[in-house]
Every structure is written in structure tokens, then in C-alpha cells.
């Protein structure tokens, strides 16, 4: 027995055994993760950025409004053609296809927008155009006068409700500021309006609307195809 | 036998018996090793599937939400969605096994199920109506679409 405990001949064998044991443990751990990885089956791909499209719609709206300021349909078409061409090139660099189309039939045939919140027949009929106004000039051209009214009100100091005729222009003097300007029964008629003035915070404002133009925005990526038509009110 | 003498006793079993014992122990240890390795493989397969399903489910719910956001955005601008398609593909098999995806709308859930019992539920939410669908991984390509006339989202095989 003494000889066995004192015998040191096999220490390399023991060392080798120990190393093999550690090696086995490491191999098992690596093997485990390999098995796990092999089982994974997720592939990559281009993902849709919804903000890209929302951004695109906003850009298009701004461009429509800017192009409308040209006051001629030809110039409007020219500016939007330019915009469409440049935008397509820019998006193509990111591997995205973009196409903007538009129609100006309402403008062409002088069909004014409804006096609702979004300018469409089904839009909100009673709505507030602007709040906290200090002074303002209202110009409204109504195609079908009758039930459409403009309400100028200050909750603390009374209100003034007016039923505008075909052409109505007025500077608000009989309501103490700050007041808000609301349209009542906007769905009952169409027309155009322009309200200019400044707010109690001293900022100038313009709220105006003539027509609703339709803009179609096509957006194409490898996995996404979309085409949205958005009514865009001009000039605001 | 007293315990003291038992600990001090250095006589071992016969060589033949020693061999049998060593052999038996080796066989038992080896068998146990193989069995545990097999069950480990099974376990890894299942947990890999679960991880996969979680990833696919997360991706799918993000895609549905993206489509829903666009629909919502268009509607809030009083616009019309003429076409909206978002393609996605599901791996044909995960860890060598096919599976089913059950997308329900009340409540909004994406349920993955495979034959080996791996089951994962992912959650999603939409504001537009979503038509429930049961899809099989055997067909790989699908698309999330929007139907303007019924204002509903649906998934169609490509």
C-alpha cells in the first residue's frame, strides 16, 4: 500500500485523464450551442419602416400646398412632376420605389371643398378652426348659404354667430379676445375661406382652404407594396 | 467486521470479479451518457423551437402592427388604402419539424404549435378588424393585406 501511494510513475497519465475530462466538458458545451443554432431557422430581410411612408405622405402634403401657391394648374403640375422625379431618385438609392400621382379635377372645375373639418362631405360638421385669437379678418365664400354658420365665441365674454351669404368678409370687433372661431353645419355647403389675424401669443396665422385635391402615393419595397390615396386640402 | 478493520483492509475482490464490476460500471455509465445526450438533444430541439417561435411571433406581430398603423394613419387622413401588402415568409420547418400558426382575433394572439409539444403564444393588437387565420408552415410565403371595403386586415398565402 505504501508503495502505491508513493509511486509517482503515472502522473502524466493522470494529467492526461484530467485534460481529456475538461476537453469533454468543453466539447459538450460547444456541441450544445451548435445543436441549438442548427435548429434556429430565422432569416433576415428588408423590414418596412412605417415612418418612411408616413413621412412620405407628409412631404407630399407639404409639396401640394407649396405648389398650389403658384396659383396656376400648369405650374402646380410642373412642380409636382419635378417633386415626383426627384423623390423617386432619392428613394431608389435606398432600394425603395416611390411614385406620386395627383388629380386636380376639383380645382379645374372650381368645385370648392365642403366646409367640414377635413373638407369632405362626411367630415366633422361642427368644428373649431382656431382658438385664442386676438384679432382676425374672416373671408368666406359659400356656394349654398342657409344653415352654415360661423360662431365666434369667448366663453367668458359672449359670442357672435353669423350666417354668411355668398361672399362674406368681416373683421371681428364685437367679441372680446381671446376668442375661438368655429364652423357650424359645415357639411351643408361647400365654399372657400380664408381667416387671417394673430393670436393672443402674438403669432400671425392664416387658415385658408379652397379645394380638396387627391394625392396618390405608391411605395414599393421588396416585400411591401402599398398605394394610398389621401385627400389634401389646399392652400392649408 | 469492525469498521476500523474495514477501512484498513486492503484486500480487494478477485481479478475476474473486478473485471466484471469494472465492465458493468462502464456499460452503465456509457448507457446513461448516451441516454442523457439523447434527451439533451430533444430538450435543445424543443427550446430552440420555442426561441424560434418567439422570434417569429415577435416579428409577425410587429409586421401586423406596422400595417395597422399605416391603415390607421390613412384613415385618420380620410384617405383610401388602394393597396397594402406586406409579404413575410415563415421557415418551412423549425428544428426539422413543421408547425402550425393560429392567429386569433379575440383575444389577439399568435399561437405556434408543433408536433413535439412545443407551443408558444405571442400577443399583438390591431385597431382595424383582423380576420383570424390558421396557417401551416409547409407553404412558406404569406402576405398581410388590407381590404378597404370591409376595413379588415387579413393574411393570404402567396
Q: Are residues A103 and A67 in the same domain?
A: yes
Question: Would you say residue A177 has pLDDT above 90?
Answer: no
How many domains is chain A built from?
3
User: Which of A97-101, A159-163, B99-103 has the least mean pLDDT?
Assistant: A159-163
- Selecting from B59, B84, B91 the residue whose C-beta is nearest the C-beta of A226 gives B84
What was the pLDDT predicted at B46? 87
- Selecting from A1, A39, A226 the residue whose C-beta is nearest the C-beta of B44 gives A39
Q: Are residues A14 and A35 in the same domain?
A: yes
- The whole domain housing A199 covers 127-211
Q: Are residues A92 and A55 in the same domain?
A: yes
- Residue A52's SS3 state is helix
Residue B119 lies in a domain: yes
State mean pLDDT over A159-175.
Answer: 84
Note if the bond before B129 is cis, omega within 30 degrees.
no
- The whole domain housing B133 covers 51-157
Q: Chain B: nearest CA to A226, how far in angstroms?
A: 4
Q: Are residues A60 and A90 in the same domain?
A: yes
Residue B28 lies in a domain: no
Q: Are residues A168 and A226 in the same domain?
A: no
Chain A residue numbers touching B59 (CB-CB < 8 A): 42
Q: What are the mean pLDDT values of chain B's consecutive 10-residue runs (158 residues total)?
A: 65 80 93 89 85 90 91 90 90 86 92 90 91 88 92 91
**Triad A82, A88, A92: Cα angle to 5°:** 150
Report which of A131, A127, A126 is spatially closest to residue A180, judged by C-alpha positions.
A131
Q: Chain B: nearest CA to A173, how far in angstroms?
A: 35
> CA–CA separation, A180 vs A153, rounded Å?
5
Residue B3 lies in a domain: no
How many domains is chain B built from?
1
* All residues at 6 or more sequence positions from B123 whose CB lies less than 8 Å from its CB, including other chains: B61, B107, B108, B109, B110
Q: Are residues A134 and A193 in the same domain?
A: yes
Q: Any CB–CB contact under 8 A between B139 and chain A? A: no
Q: Chain B: nearest CA to A172, how far in angstroms?
A: 31
- Selecting from B55, B73, B87 the residue whose C-beta is nearest the C-beta of A42 gives B55
Residue B29 lies in a domain: no
Q: Are residues A197 and A220 in the same domain?
A: no
Q: Are residues A104 and A134 in the same domain?
A: no
* Record: contact A216-B87, CB cut-off 8 A: no
Residue B7 lies in a domain: no
What DSSP line would sit under chain B, residue for residue? --HHHHHH------HHHHHHHHHHHHHHHHHHHHHHHHHHHHHHHHHHHHHHHHHHHHHHHHHHHHHHHHHHHHHHTT-EEEEEEEEEE--S-BTTB-EEEEEEETTEEEEEEETTS-EEEEE---SSEE--EEEETTS-EEEEEEETTTTEEEEEE-
Predicted confidence band at A235 (pLDDT cuts at 50, 70, 90)? confident
Prediction ipTM score:
0.74
Amino acid at each position: 500500500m505504501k508503495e502505491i501511494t508513493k509511486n509517482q510513475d503515472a502522473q502524466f497519465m493522470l494529467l492526461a485523464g484530467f485534460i481529456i475530462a475538461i476537453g469533454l466538458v468543453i466539447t459538450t458545451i460547444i456541441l450544445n450551442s451548435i445543436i441549438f443554432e442548427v435548429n434556429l431557422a430565422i432569416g433576415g430581410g428588408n423590414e418596412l419602416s412605417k415612418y418612411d411612408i408616413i413621412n412620405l405622405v407628409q412631404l407630399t402634403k407639404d409639396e401640394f400646398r407649396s405648389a398650389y401657391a403658384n396659383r396656376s394648374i400648369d405650374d402646380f403640375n410642373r412642380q409636382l412632376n419635378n417633386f415626383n422625379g426627384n423623390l423617386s431618385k432619392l428613394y431608389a438609392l435606398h432600394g425603395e420605389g416611390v411614385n406620386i400621382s395627383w388629380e386636380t379635377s376639383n380645382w379645374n372645375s372650381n368645385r370648392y371643398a365642403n366646409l367640414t373639418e377635413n373638407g369632405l362631405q362626411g367630415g366633422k360638421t361642427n368644428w373649431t378652426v382656431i382658438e385664442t385669437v386676438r384679432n382676425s379678418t374672416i373671408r368666406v365664400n359659400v356656394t349654398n348659404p342657409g344653415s352654415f354658420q360661423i360662431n365666434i365665441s369667448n366663453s367668458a365674454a359672449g359670442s357672435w354667430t353669423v350666417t354668411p351669404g355668398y361672399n362674406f368678409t368681416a373683421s371681428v370687433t364685437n367679441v372680446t379676445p381671446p376668442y375661438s372661431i368655429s364652423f357650424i353645419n359645415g357639411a351643408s355647403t361647400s365654399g372657400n375661406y380664408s381667416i387671417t389675424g394673430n393670436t393672443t401669443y402674438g403669432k400671425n396665422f392664416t387658415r385658408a382652404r379652397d379645394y380638396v385635391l387627391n394625392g396618390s402615393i405608391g411605395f414599393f419595397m421588396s416585400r411591401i407594396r402599398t398605394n394610398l390615396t389621401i385627400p389634401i386640402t389646399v392652400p392649408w | 467486521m469492525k469498521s476500523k478493520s474495514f477501512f484498513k483492509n486492503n484486500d480487494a475482490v478477485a481479478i475476474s470479479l473486478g473485471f466484471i464490476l469494472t465492465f458493468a460500471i462502464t456499460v452503465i455509465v456509457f448507457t446513461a451518457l448516451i441516454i442523457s445526450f439523447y434527451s439533451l438533444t430533444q430538450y435543445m430541439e424543443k427550446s430552440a423551437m420555442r426561441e424560434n417561435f418567439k422570434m417569429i411571433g415577435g416579428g409577425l406581430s410587429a409586421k401586423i402592427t406596422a400595417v395597422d398603423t399605416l391603415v390607421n394613419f390613412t384613415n385618420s387622413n380620410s384617405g383610401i388604402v388602394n393597396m397594402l401588402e406586406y409579404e413575410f415568409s415563415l421557415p418551412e420547418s423549425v428544428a426539422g419539424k413543421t408547425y402550425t400558426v393560429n392567429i386569433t382575433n379575440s383575444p389577439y394572439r399568435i399561437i405556434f404549435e408543433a408536433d413535439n409539444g412545443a407551443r408558444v403564444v405571442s400577443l399583438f393588437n390591431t385597431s382595424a378588424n383582423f380576420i383570424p387565420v390558421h396557417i401551416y408552415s409547409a407553404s412558406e410565403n404569406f402576405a398581410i393585406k388590407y381590404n378597404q371595403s370591409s376595413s379588415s386586415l387579413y393574411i393570404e398565402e402567396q
